[in-house]
Structure 1
Amino acid sequence: MTPLYARHKRTTLAVATAVAAGALLSTGLAAGTASAQTPADSTGNAQLAAAPTSLTAAARTSLLQKAQADVSETAQQIGLGTKEKLVAKDVVKDVDGTVHTRYERTYAGLPVLGGDLVVHTAKSGRTEGVTRATKTALKVASLKPQITAAKAEKQAVSAAKTLGSAKTAADGARKVIWAGSGKPVLAFETIVGGLQDDGTPNQLHVITDAATGKKLFEYQGIENATGTGKTLYSGTVSLTTTLSGTTYSLTDASRGSHKTYNLKHGTSGTGTLFTNTTNTWGTGAASSSTTDVTAAADAAYGAQETWDFYKSTFGRSGIKNNGVGAYSRVHYGSSYVNAFWDDSCFCMTYGDGSGNTHPLTSLDVAGHEMSHGVTSNTAGLNYSGESGGLNEATSDIFGTGVEFYAANSNDVGDYLIGEEININGDGTPLRYMDKPSKDGGSADSWSSTVGNKDVHYSSGVANHFFYLLSEGSGAKTINGVSYNSPTSNGSTVTGIGRAKALQIWYKALTTYFTSTTNYKSARTGTLSAATALYGSGSAEYNAVAAAWSAVNVS
């Protein structure tokens, strides 16, 4: 980790992705420049017709509502029995208009475990096929149990004890139809809570034949719940948590099982998973206590929004794009004015700041730091010279994207970096994307010596490029913040919008940038990305060229 340091009376967001770990505050001048790299063939392939298309929340809700309204007709079309009903659960729409709707099934009002299915519908509305969890027809002779629920519970508790649970009673039981294997039968599903070795809450589900008392199946599961986070920086927000029995934890199973841990001012290990008997987290105010939950609420919210930003904007499932969540640690050290991403633990760590009451857990810090993990797992930009500046700028760009994506009224989207954490003590942000030199050290445009600057200052060239590409040059006000972006060549640049600018940068990062990409090759890479996405000579392509020229990169 790098030591704390302030140059030009300000601090810098940082992380060293070329090594195992990095920190929010950084020192040292990165010497040397990176060699140019020729990007790969820029020919873009047409999007596959069967690829999933991005759905807005409203569009997804509309499709699900329609599917639910039509369940009787759908059940009849696919040949379900009169006692069977469908419950719409999820929907995916392809580029060519094909819709894949996932359903749960009930039989005589009882949930059918192993009865789920997916109906594939063409754009015309014609049903093209059905994918079923079981092909066995549902028919159960009797819905009256021959054993008691208490007997099923005893068996389930015994099974849970062999797995380390200390529970003496089940958390719940219900009658179901078991269709997961063999002939469908009436059964009891009994749930016994407990904790895994790492402190993760879990629920053992035991399926017992309601006629014979035979155990049919068991599996470990966790239950998502919607909690309330009272954060320091983002106000009151919804958090996805996990319920096991009567205990909630800051575990987000819907986002790769991201967990938030408490280091209690320690500096090593994973820490203790945050748990609570209620599903409300934090007070909205910071506290120096090691039991403070507010910082954890901010950290969990930041991880949640960063995951959703990448998923919604780029279709990327987690930092490594493998569906696996990182984890977050808060209350690191004592009065530690820093935060960092660490590849070696695949985790995000936050200090509590001055007096242990100013945690560095704001939304754009979370997005910035975790984006270093994305860079590490894609282009792997070396953390030195011009490639280091591009590394830092990438995190600023995507951290800004996360902030705008979250659309949080307490921390509105802007082109300022670290404006909420107020490390400078005077209300000023760490960096300005419209005119980077306003921070006293960053470069507005490229020069032959820019690679000799600290990577947080050489990042200014790419940050300025991104702002110009998104919003254009000159004076304007966005979300209540005034900007006035100059150009090095006196040109007027017209922006193409942040959404397109983000797509171009991500495409370049993941397809055309390499570990030694410098500013000249970043220009080439983003032009290749614009060609692949929008076509050579398109308005977007021309805007990329103009924005780079405006920061003296040719």
Structure 2
Amino acid sequence: MKKKIFVPILITTALISASLPYSNVLAVQPEAQAESVTAKKWNENANVPLFVKEKHAAKRSAVSSADALSFLNENKTKLNMKNPQGNLKLKKKETDELGMTHFRYNQTKNGIPVEGAEVLVHYNEKNEIIAVNGTLNKQLEENSLDTTPAVSVKTALETAKASVDAPSTLDQLPSSDLVIYPFQGKNHLAHKVNLSFLGDEPGNWYVFVDAKTGKVIDQYNAIMHADEIKTQKGVGIGVWGEHRQLHISRSKPERGGTVFNLADYSHEGLEGIITYDYSKGYLEVFHGKDASFKDDFDRAAVDAHYNSEQVYEYYKHEHDRNSLDDNGMPIQSVVHYGEDYNNAFWNGTFMVYGDGDGEFMVPLSAGLDVAAHEMAHGVTSNSAGLVYRFQSGALNEAFSDIFGALIDDSDWEMGEDIMAPAAREGGRDALRSLSDPSRFPVGAAYVPYGNGDGMYPSHMDEYYDLPRDLDNGGVHINSSIINHAAYLTAQDIGREKLGKIYYRALTVYLTPDSDFSHARESIIQSAIDLYGEGSPEVAAAAGGFDSVGITE
């Protein structure tokens, strides 16, 4: 077994309780019960954060990063931290609608950020610190590490490009950050390179190049399966023949004439909702000669543009979130991608939709839940940052499915509007089901890693112990367990409250390395924040997880 580097930080509603035994708060994992906190083995499928609770909170003098760090320093022994004031760097400060303030810190070593290691400190509206959670790399706290790179950023970029066979011309500028990357029991100084491109084999690759040796340590594809301009009204017809009211804009190119663009700048504080065409192999704003988009070629773009605005409106009205990053970033979609391409994905910048093959799928932009799913990946990328592997990756996919079903609220299925008539006739009327996951089979390659039934799992008893090279360790497969927990909770409290609880957990409590156990506790804590201890909403949040075998 590989040695576990990250040590969970206790979460508390005040000063850490020393009397509560750790074993009482460890969740049952799919393979085996976790070992003691100080001697856990490395298990990438079961990184279990701890939550410890206490009834009383001590009032602090101020709500500030300096005060939060002072609190951590005062309690570093109980928190099992060595030097929080010296090793934690503020990443984000947020105040939510409940008046709570949250400080999110990244662990550092010699000023270099540690990948995936984050600590959060939460204040209530009375200036009381009520919770601390996260993960910490204890090896780095206790041992020295040379953090002077011997390999240049330029060399690392070239190595990364070669390792993923990236095209010579990228759609977006690559980025590189110097980080400390824990991998297979060792801490590496690494250049974290992000390469994003479309083309025949689209990628949103993260490649970790050893900054000492120049060799690739690890890599994964985080594709998540997008003159004065004045906005005016337009119309269009969608994939299934729906008449859509659209916000579009008009421009006058240098070559003369007037074109009408699927580009919406009508929302204050939002950089725009823009839809692109990729049918020629490059990005071009989707446009026409007039304000009516009713040709067959237009239909996929009409739905992508219309659905993007619906999803934007949901987050704005339900959660007061301004776009995917909560800071007005443009919402961008790409249609007519690939040939007979039965997929859609979020590449870190765009929602990208294939046209389907007409046999199994129609253009994937037809599904409001598909658009909501891809845009939720953008929300996750800009909040919890759930790493797209194993349980954290399954949570990433689950939150996208859940918000897809909340926004397209006609049922609890995913992708019912993108299935072609032939697929429906053959019994495949959706991609996944939150209400009854086992209604659909998984791919043949996944079957040997489950319980033999070969269906999507609804319970931890049916968990697929997949290797990292199959579905990134089961991100699309095991997500259905979390999906079903959310569905069961919604049967007791409704969609609106479910959305508020899960959104809060995603944006306030979850961290990049969170697993199913941490998700349970984060969601329960979110329900407590919103509705109070002992409320029906808290019972429903816990009950959903209990019913799928994710227990305390």
TM bucket normalised to smaller = 0.5 to 0.7
1:262 paired to 2:277? yes
- Equivalence for 1:303: 308
* CA offsets 1:139-188 (integer angstroms, 9 cap, x no match): xxxxxxxxxxxxxxxxxxxxxxxxxxxxxxxxxxxxxxxxxxxxxxxxxx
Distance 1:43 1:450, change over 3 A: farther
Is 1:224 aligned with 2:231?
yes
Tell me by how many angstroms 1:273 deviates: 1.4
Q: 2:407 aligns with which of 369, 391, 402?
A: 402
SS at 2:364 equivalent:
coil
Q: 1:252 is matched by which residue type in structure 2?
A: D
Residues 320-331 of structure 1 aligned to structure 2 (within 5 Å):
320-331=325-336
Mapped to 2, the partners of 1:95 and 1:530 lie a distance apart of: 12
Counterpart of 2:429? 428
Q: Is the 8 A contact 1:442 1:459 kept in 2?
A: no
Distance 1:277 1:537 in 2: 60
Q: CA deviation at 1:503?
A: 0.4
SS at match of 1:254: coil
Report SS of the residue matched to 1:226: strand
For residues 306 and 232 of structure 2, what CA distance do their matches in structure 1 show? 14
State the distance in 1 between where 2:55 and 2:228 align.
45
CA–CA distance in structure 1, aligned partners of residues 56 and 498 of structure 2: 17
TM-score, with length taken from structure 2: 0.52
Cα deviation for residue 496 of structure 1 reads 0.4
CA 432–43 in structure 1, closer or farther in 2 if over 3 Å, else same: farther
Structure 2 residue 320 is matched with structure 1 residue 315: yes
Cα gap change, 1:282/1:40 in structure 2, threshold over 3 Å: closer, same or farther? Answer: farther
CA–CA distance in structure 2, aligned partners of residues 339 and 510 of structure 1: 24
Alignment check: 8 A CA contact 1:319 1:373 kept = yes
**1:477-496: CA deviation from partner (whole Å, max 9, x where unpaired):** xxxxxxxxxxxxxxxxxx10
Deviation by residue 1:76-103 (Cα, 9 ceiling, x = unmatched): xxxxxxxxxxxxxxxxxx999xxxxxxx
Quick check: 1:503 aligned with 2:500? yes
2:352 maps to what in 1? 349
Aligned mates of 1:228, 1:403 — CA distance in 2: 21
2:49 is the counterpart of 1:37? yes
Shift of 1:374: 0.9
- SS of residue in 1 equivalent to 2:303: helix
- Specify the code of the residue in structure 2 equivalent to 1:502: G
* Correspondence for 1:250: 262
Does the CA-based 8 Å contact 1:44-1:531 persist in structure 2?
A: no
**What is the SS of the residue equivalent to 2:327?**
coil
Q: Secondary structure at the match of 2:534?
A: coil
Is the CA contact (8 Å cut-off) linking 1:234 and 1:298 kept in structure 2? no
- State the partner residue of 2:456: 442
Match status 1:359 vs 2:358: no
Distance 1:236 1:526 in 2: 39
Match of 1:338 in 2: 343
Is the CA contact 2:457–2:463 (under 8 Å) kept in the aligned structure 1?
no
Whether contact under 8 Å (2:463, 2:478) holds in the other structure is no
Alpha-carbon separation, structure 2, partners of 1:302 and 1:461: 27
Aligned residue type for 2:516 = Y
Give the count of matched residue pairs.
310
Going from structure 1 to structure 2, the CA distance change for 1:419 and 1:542 (only over 3 Å counts) comes to: same
After superposition, the Cα gap between the structure-2 partners of 1:40 and 1:347, relative to the gap in structure 1 and judged at 3 Å, is farther
More relative contact order in 1 or in 2 (CA 8 Å, sep 6+)?
1
TM-score (normalised: structure 1): 0.52
Question: Given residue 412 of structure 2, which amino acid in structure 1 is its aligned partner?
Answer: Y
SS of the residue aligned with 1:260? strand
Q: Aligned AA for 1:542?
A: A
**TM-superposed deviation, 1:41:** 8.7
Q: Percent identity?
A: 35
Task: Please give the alpha-carbon distance, in whole angstroms, between the structure 2 residues aligned to 1:264 and 1:342.
Answer: 18
Equivalent-residue separation in structure 1 for 2:233 and 2:54 (angstroms) = 44
In structure 2, distance between residues paired with 1:228 and 1:463: 35
- Does residue 553 (structure 1) correspond to residue 545 (structure 2)? The answer is no
CA distance in 2, matches of 1:272, 1:553: 46
Matches within 5 A, 1:110-189: none
The unaligned stretches of length 5 or more in structure 1 are 1-30, 46-93, 97-219, 287-291, 405-412, 472-494
Distance across 1 between alignment mates of 2:54 and 2:379: 22
Task: Tell me the distance in 2 between the aligned counterparts of 1:442 and 1:436.
Answer: 5
Q: 276, 280, 292: which is aligned to 1:280?
A: 292
Change (3 A) 1:374 1:260: same
**Is the contact made by 1:527 and 1:544 (CA closer than 8 Å) also made in structure 2?**
yes
Looking at structure 2, the residues matched to 235 and 549 of structure 1 have their Cα atoms a distance apart, in angstroms, of 41
The 3-state SS of whatever aligns with 1:501 is helix
SS at match of 1:456: coil
CA, structure 1 residues 265+317, in 2 after alignment: closer, same or farther (shift >3 Å)?
A: same
Paired with 1:260 and 1:514, the residues of 2 have a C-alpha distance of 31
> CA 1:37–1:305 in 2, change beyond 3 Å: closer, same or farther?
same
8 A Cα contact 1:39 1:524, kept in partner: yes
Give 3-state SS (helix, strand or coil) of 2:232's partner. Answer: strand
Q: Distance in 2 between matches of 1:335 and 1:544?
A: 41
Shift of 1:447: 3.5
Q: How far off its partner does 1:431 sit?
A: 0.7
Contact 1:42 1:529 (C-alpha < 8 Å) held by counterparts = no
Letter in 2 for 1:465: A
Q: 1:366 and 1:512 mapped to 2: Cα distance?
A: 25
SS in 1 for 2:328: coil
Q: Is 1:331–1:352's contact at 8 Å kept on the other side of the alignment?
A: yes
Change (3 A) 1:527 1:438: same
* 2:237 corresponds to 1:236: no
Which residue matches 1:526? 523
Q: 1:238/1:38 Cα in 2 relative to 1: closer, same or farther (>3 Å)? A: farther
| Superimposed CA distance per residue, residues 258-292 of structure 1 (whole angstroms, 9 cap, x where no aligned partner) | 211111152xx4x2212223211134xx5xxxxx1
Task: Mark the CA change 1:234 to 1:551 in structure 2 (over 3 Å): closer, same or farther.
Answer: farther
For 1:302 and 1:399, how far apart are their aligned partners in 2? 11
CA distance in 2, matches of 1:309, 1:37: 31
**Aligned-residue CA RMSD (Å):** 2.8
Give the Cα separation in 2 of the matches to 1:443 and 1:43: 37
